[in-house]
A and B are shown apart, each in its own frame.
Chain A
Amino acid sequence: MADLKPDELIARTNFTPPKTGWMDTPTVIREGMFCYAAKPKSVATLGLPYPREWNPLNDDWKLPENWKEIIIEGMKDRLERFRTFKIFMDICVRCGACADKCHFFIGTGDPKNMPVVRAELLRSIYRNEFTKAGKILGRIAGARELTLDVLKEWWYYFFQCSECRRCSVFCPYGIDTAEITMMGRELLNLLGLNIDWIATPVANCYMTGNHMGIQPQAFVDMLDFFADEIEDTTGVRVHPTYNKKGADILFTTPSGDVFGDPGTYTAMGYMILFHYLKERYGLDVTWSTFNSEGGNFGLFTSNEVMKRLNIKMYAEAKRLGVKWILGGECGHMWRAITQYMDTMNGPADFLEEPVNPITGTKFENAKSTKMVHIVEFTADLIKHNKLELDPSRNDNLKVTFHDSCNPARGMGMFDEPRYVIKNVCNNFYEMPRNCIREQTFCCGSGSGLNASEDMELRLSGGLPRANAVKYVQEKHGVNMLACICAIDRAVLPPLMGYWVPEVDVTGIHELVTNALIIPGEQEKTVNLRGEDIPNKDEMDPDEYYTRPDFSGR
């Protein structure tokens, strides 16, 4: 990918579709645009069907003899179990409102990345097998035979969708391509056709408790290392607790933040915050090594696998006897928690309805899942003046905020992160309206596509996001992109490096703890990244929230 300059990459993007119709345009699986096939060991760990070595570039995918039958049966079964699937197969009028809403279409110009066509890849088979019109009229009714080429096309394009749901916002019938992609991937998984970047994290998470496969002793080591780092920059020693029975709150966050920069600074941020709350208010938050993953790549595999991974959250909360669960900054984790967890693994009647013991705030909106988002939690603390903050410590930053797809369109968390940022940073600038909040653009690497071998796909798909960042960089000198998603923190740095150099990426809780005045801290001269802290000047954070340009709602 390094050999293709941004200009060259964009020059290849052309919104004019090819002369041949999509059914007659064969799909060529191209390097850089796909992730490697799932390793048999990972598929077998979960006991999923047909683990084997196979290569997407080979003609022979080593499919079982009766693969067609398996797919058709799988479709039938899912049509009966999911009303979404049935309705989304039947009612699309192909108005095209979704067509240019997809970041992968905008970035690649490949018409099969138009959400409508992505869905038609599946619908054409549905019509052929399950509708009278399709059976009688065939192609005229938009039906086609299920062939090996069709299956390969499915695989290629259902792993070129990041399930971000942006198209669904614009669809007059609410047709959700994420749901269609999820069905497509469930079907592909019936034949063992997962990608390794999903299958192996899933297997790791199942066995060791997190996607990265970090074993318990290593997990403790890593957090200890962070504690050393924190001590170096702040002079304060934090003492995280692990698997502690009887703690007030169980904390769960993506292991990606324990593993790689700049997520590690966010992880340090959590540790400092919990230390602060322990010292000041006696709040006892514990981490778990068994439940050391907030993310859930099962969501990208099948609903059953999602359930098998998610079940650990409640199981561990129950075993430790905590009051409720606090969840870290993560995107698809919060889609799973908001829209699936309680249904799948609830009711969590062994937990208490979450109350912030420091402020007394009842989190009414989470009274059934018993799981609170840390940004909601921190926003509540700040609102009640429970955190001593000095936002001028972030004055070297001009911050913009990237709404991550899932907290945006699967939850609706928009104002809480902005409130927190504006209270810990003095310089905040919004990207243009069509690129934020419910219309936010995906990082281009969501839904398990954040591997390295598909970098061209990621950089193409990330173009709309990067372009909006570039806009505020040029207009306001923005140099920091804040986000509340661990995948974002892993993938936005290379994306920015490619399209918008000089813009760095941060989690919100890194910003919070930069500004947080920790009891007993040494005079801070550097932040967690070891960068110089600018000189203090007086600034009222509330002023920023009430400013007329606050695009809050």
Chain B
Amino acid sequence: MNEKYLYPLMAVIALFLVAYVGVEAVGLQWLFGIIIPFMALITFVVGFVMRVNDWARSPVPFAIPTTCGQQESLPWIKPNKIDNPFTTGGVIIRMALEILLFRSLFRNTTCKLNEGPTISYVWEKWLWLFSLAFHYSFLTVLVRHLRFFLEPVPSSLQILDKLDGFLQIGLPGVMISGVVLLAAAMFLLLRRIVISQVRYFSLAADFFPLFLIIAIAVSGIMMRYFTKVDIVGVKELTMGMVTFHPHIPDGIGAIFYVHVFFVSVLLAYFPFSKLMHLGGVFLSPTRNVRCNTRAHRHINPWNPKVKVHTYAEYEDDFREKMIGAGLPVEKEL
């Protein structure tokens, strides 16, 4: 059982060692600071586009939305325009709620078998809450990192930094997003290990990205609060990348290269993994089509020609009996 999380954990430790040793002992700053990140980014972009393209190549033969509310029907019955959207506007709202607020997950319940027997279904908000916290803190961290790639740093990013650090604890100030990201990722990890049902169907491929993201968060937090990375040097390196004049400034600690290497692995791994749910959620055919299939015909591009048993054949089979029963027939005996 535990090979499912031991292998991914070992893999992340190995990645750490590769980068750390590579930089500290071998001096491969160029490789880990510039070449691998570039290649990872290209892999991510190309891989992502190709994967989405591959999905899009397959048609949607049938409109099969999951209807989660009252249909559009008689004029005096109030339809649920979001959970059973009849119009494109409704679909957009449904998708926005799904993507931005994880609406379906919000419905989650836990089933309990009690004495009696009675079965109870209790609203289970923690998975929803921590997933939301995880994704939004990750997004915030990501956006905050844009300051390394822009000069001058736009005021909107500075405002975001202020908001993120509004607690004003410590120096440098604690960014809430980083802490929340780490906490939420830990929750998602522990959930997979502790809840026996979830552990049962979890794969190594579920643990690996969690360990990797935790490692990214930890190495980032280390740099910011503990080893106090040479931030001017880092900015010099990142600006060199975006202006296509890559160079490696002196004095950036190995932990930075480890951090960048983790991120690179995550980017390169992304298109080949379940992380593609980022793209897939937009394309899910049970959510992103209108629930108006009785009012508008959906076209299947490969609608097959099929062999049918016609009425004429049916009448041929039963004509005598039909006439006997007084049923009208097309052809008399």
> Could you say which of A15-23, A490-498, A532-540 contacts chain B?
A15-23
* Also in contact, A100 and B197, with CB within 8 A (given A91-B274, A93-B274, A243-B327): yes
Q: Which of B66, B111, B127, B202 contacts A176 (CB 8 A)?
A: B66
Please state if B325 and A416 are interface contacts (CB–CB under 8 Å): no
A553 and B197 contacting across the interface, CB-CB below 8 Å: no
Q: A142 in the interface, Cβ–Cβ < 8 Å?
A: yes
Task: Report chain B residues within 8 Å CB of A413.
Answer: 70-71, 73
- Give chain A residues whose Cβ lies under 8 Å from the Cβ of B117: 7, 10, 467
| Given A175-B284, A347-B297: 8 more A-B contacts, CB < 8 Å | A17-B200, A94-B274, A95-B131, A169-B104, A173-B281, A176-B64, A303-B62, A342-B293
Q: Is the CB of B58 within 8 A of A79?
A: yes
CB-based contact A217/B328 at 8 Å: no
Cα–Cα distance between A435 and B29 once the two chains are bound (Å): 59
CB proximity of B273 to chain A, nearest CB, Å: 7
A111 B113 Cβ-Cβ under 8 A: no
> Which of B75-83, B220-228, B251-259 binds A?
B75-83
In the bound complex, residues from chain A placing their C-beta under 8 Å from that of B98 are 172, 174
Q: Which residues of A contact B26 (CB under 8 A)?
A: none
**Contact across chains for B272 and A343 when beta carbons are under 8 A apart:** no
B60 contacts A by Cβ under 8 Å: yes
Q: Which residues from B are CB-within-8-Å of A432?
A: 121
Q: Is the CB of B303 within 8 A of A343?
A: yes
Cβ-based interface call for B244 (8 A)? no
Q: A470 CA to B7 CA in the complex, in Å?
A: 48
Q: Is the CB of B322 within 8 A of A289?
A: yes
Whether a CB of chain A sits under 8 angstroms from the CB of B196 is yes
Could you say which residues of chain A place their CB within 8 Å of the CB of B291? 412
A368 at interface, CB cutoff 8 A: yes
Asked whether B151 is an interface residue with its Cβ less than 8 Å from the other chain, the reply is no
A171 CB-CB contact with B under 8 Å: yes
A337 CA to B296 CA, complexed, in Å = 13
- Would A96 and B197 count as touching, CB distance under 8 A? yes
**Chain A residue at minimal CB-CB distance from B103:** A172
- Across the interface, B119 reaches (CB within 8 A) one of A168, A243, A415, A463, namely A463
User: Please, how many angstroms separate the alpha-carbon atoms of A419 and B78 in the complex?
Assistant: 12
Q: Using CB atoms, name the residue of chain A closest to B325.
A: A217
What 0/1 readout, one digit per residue, does chain A (91-106) give for beta carbons within 8 Å of chain B? Answer: 1111111011100001
Q: Which residues of B contact A94 (CB under 8 A)?
A: 198, 201-203, 206, 274
Q: Which of B70, B108, B309 contacts A412 (CB 8 A)?
A: B70
Residues of chain A touching chain B, judged by Cβ–Cβ distance below 8 Å, are: 7, 10, 13, 15-17, 19, 21-22, 47, 79-87, 90-97, 99-101, 106, 111, 114, 116-117, 120, 131-133, 140-142, 165, 168-176, 179, 206-209, 215-217, 220-221, 242-245, 289-290, 303-304, 307-308, 311-312, 315-316, 319, 337-340, 342-344, 346-347, 361, 363-369, 371, 376, 379-380, 383, 408-416, 419, 432, 434-435, 438-439, 463-464, 467-468, 470-471, 552-553
Q: Identify the interface centre among B109, B280, B310: most chain A CB within 10 Å of its CB.
A: B280
**Chain B contact patch, size range:** 35 or more
Tell me the bound Cα distance from A319 to B310 in angstroms.
11
Contact between A216 and B327 (Cβ–Cβ < 8 Å)? yes
Closest-CB distance, A460 to chain B (whole angstroms): 12
Using CB atoms, name the residue of chain B closest to A359.
Answer: B74
- B309 & A99 in contact (Cβ 8 Å cutoff): no
Q: Report B-chain residues with C-beta under 8 Å of the C-beta of A85.
A: 58
Is the pair B61, A367 in contact by a Cβ cutoff of 8 Å?
no
Q: Which of B58, B64, B68 meets A438, CB within 8 Å?
A: B68
How distant is the Cα of A171 from the Cα of B327 in the complex, in angstroms?
Answer: 50
9 interchain residue pairs of minimum CB distance: A91-B280, A412-B71, A412-B67, A217-B325, A174-B286, A17-B200, A100-B111, A174-B287, A434-B121
CB-CB under 8 A from A93, the residues of chain B are 206, 274, 277
State whether the Cβ of B63 lies closer than 8 Å to any Cβ in chain A: yes
Report 18 cross-chain contacts, Cβ distance below 8 Å, ordered by A residue.
A13-B113, A17-B197, A21-B200, A84-B285, A100-B109, A111-B200, A117-B201, A133-B205, A142-B204, A173-B284, A174-B98, A208-B318, A217-B325, A307-B306, A308-B307, A365-B294, A412-B70, A464-B119
Q: Interface 1/0s, chain B 279-321, versus A by CB < 8 A? A: 1110111110001111111111011101111110011011001
Q: Which of B187-219 contact A (CB under 8 A)?
A: 195-206
Q: Looking at the complex, which one of A106, A169, A369, A408 makes contact with B113 (CB distance below 8 Å)?
A: A106
Bound-state Cα–Cα, A152 to B55, Å: 29
A-B pair number, CB within 8 angstroms: 327
Q: Are B299 and A106 in contact (CB under 8 A)?
A: no
Decide if B243 is an interface residue (CB 8 Å cutoff).
no
The residues of B that contact A179 with a CB separation of less than 8 Å are 64, 286
Instruction: Point out residues on B near A: beta carbons under 8 Å.
Output: 1, 4, 7, 51, 54-80, 83-84, 86, 98, 102, 104-105, 107-111, 113, 117-119, 121, 127, 131, 195-206, 272-274, 276-277, 279-281, 283-287, 291-300, 302-304, 306-311, 314-315, 317-318, 321-322, 324-328
Chain B residues closer than 8 Å to A220, beta-carbon distance: 325-327
**Closest residue of chain B to A220, judged by CB?**
B325
**B294–A368 contact, CB under 8 A?**
yes
A365, A439, A468: the one within 8 Å of B292 (CB): A365
Q: Which residue of B lies closest to A354 (CB)?
A: B294
Secondary structure of the B side of the interface?
A: loop
Given the complex, which residues of B lie within 8 Å of A172, measured CB to CB? Answer: 98, 102, 104-105, 131, 281
Pick from A47, A342, A415, A434: contact of B294, CB below 8 A. A342
Q: Which of B69, B104, B299 contacts A171 (CB 8 A)?
A: B104
Chain B residues within 8 Å of A215, by CB: 318, 321
A553/B70 contact (C-beta < 8 A), A90-B280, A343-B300, A434-B121 known? yes
Residues of chain A with a CB closer than 8 A to B51's CB: 90
Closest A residue to B58 by CB, please name it.
A83
Contacts of B272 in A (CB 8 A): 131-133
A206 to B84, CA, bound (A): 33
Task: List, in ascending order, chain B residues with CB within 8 A of A22's CB.
Answer: 200-201
Given the complex, which residues of B lie within 8 Å of A339, measured CB to CB?
62-65, 293
A215 to chain B, nearest CB (A): 6
Measured in the bound complex, the distance between the Cα atoms of B107 and A332 in whole Å is 25
Which of chain B's residues have a CB closer than 8 A to the CB of A120? 201
Question: Residues of A contacting B58 with CB < 8 Å?
Answer: 79-83, 85-86
In contact, B63 and A343 (Cβ under 8 angstroms) = yes
- Please tell me if the beta carbons of A319 and B311 are within 8 angstroms of each other in the complex: yes
Contact of A106 among B73, B119, B201, B297 (CB under 8 A): B119
Contact of A371 among B102, B286, B292, B294 (CB under 8 A): B294
Out of A308, A365, A434, name the residue touching B109 (CB < 8 Å). Answer: A434
Which residues of B have CB within 8 Å of A244? 328
* CB < 8 Å neighbour of A83 from B60, B71, B287, B328: B60
Report the separation of the CA atoms of residues A117 and B202 in the bound assembly, to the nearest whole angstrom: 10
Q: A368-B295, A438-B83 known; A140 and B104 CB under 8 Å?
A: no
Smallest beta-carbon distance A473→chain B, Å: 12
Knowing A17-B200, A343-B62 touch, does A174 contact B327 (C-beta < 8 A)? Answer: no
* B69 to A, closest residue via Cβ: A412
Assess whether B104 is in contact with A174, with CB atoms less than 8 Å apart.
yes
CB pair A207 B309 closer than 8 Å: yes
Q: Which residue of B299, B310, B315, B322 is within 8 Å of A315 (Cβ)?
A: B310
Q: Which residues of A contact B62 (CB under 8 A)?
A: 303, 339-340, 343
B55 touches A86 (CB 8 A): yes
Taking CB atoms, residues of chain A closer than 8 Å to B309 are: 206-207, 308, 312
